[in-house]
Amino acid sequence: MLGRMIVRWRAVREAARGSVVTHALIAGCCVVFLLSPASGLNPAYGTGERLLSAGTAYFQRWGVIPDELFTGTPRAWLTPLTALFVHGSWLHLLGNMLFLYVFGAMAEERMGRPAFLVFYVCTGYLALAAYAAANAGSAQTLVGASGAISAVLGAFLCLLPRARVTSLFPFLFFLPLRFPAWIVLLFWFALQWVAAHRAESGPGVAYLAHLVGFSLGFVYAWVRYRRTTRVRRPATATEGDSQP
């Protein structure tokens, strides 16, 4: 038992040590958020109504607006990229970064740093663009790294389905339970699917971007790595109840 625990700890430590891209993405998102009006910490944006007005303008500038993406200026096509680093609240940021930290390190180790970075940016861009295409008439701004992180989850499911994931379930009094990654991630995907079909138009969580990102990540990993040997060494991850 002790020997297996040591092996698992070493696997996680080695993955975390080598996950430069994952850490850089987390740092980038945190810095952007802290400097944005959404954090409430940047005095340049003022307070009260001035802060709210600045926040609206900030999201409209850097976020994806579906009805402008396909009919606006060429600059609009850059917004799915900039939106990946913009978050609307502390909870939004922390939930996304938790998932990226937990699942990104092992996925990056498996793919390699340059490939993981390209994968993250491209799938995130496509997930946001797909959501915009499905809601082409909407003027609601879309921000966040959810689509890209969902792609990481999909790739993780394909590459490391047997990794043990410790999850906290609120309906079980946040009792930590360990399951294979394939159970946790398929359960997460099912929740997104149900939520996407129940979601109404207007402000809210872009569940469709989650589904598209997850699917893109899984398909890419399956096509790219299906002929190579999967990582079989033990892997341990911890997931909170927040969702990207």
- We report the CATH number of the domain holding residue 118 as 1.20.1540.10
For residue 165, what pLDDT band results from cuts at 50, 70 and 90?
Answer: low
202 belongs to a structural domain? yes
Domains in the chain, number: 1
- Look up the domain containing 145 and give its range: 2-239
Q: Long-range contacts: 221-226, Cβ < 8 Å, 24+?
A: 221/154, 221/155, 221/158, 221/159, 222/158, 225/110, 225/158, 225/159
Element (H, E) at 55: helix 48-62
Please tell me the predicted confidence (pLDDT) of residue 13: 52
Average pLDDT for residues 100-125, to the nearest whole number?
94
Residue 244 within a domain: no
Q: For residue 153, give the H/E element and its range.
A: helix 146-159
Residue length, the chain? 244
Nearest to 84 by CA among 123, 45, 53: 123
Mean pLDDT of the chain: 80
> Which of 5-19, 67-81, 199-213 has the highest average model confidence (pLDDT)?
67-81
pTM metric for this prediction? 0.80
Percent of the chain with pLDDT over 90: 52
Residue 199 confidence (pLDDT) above 50: yes
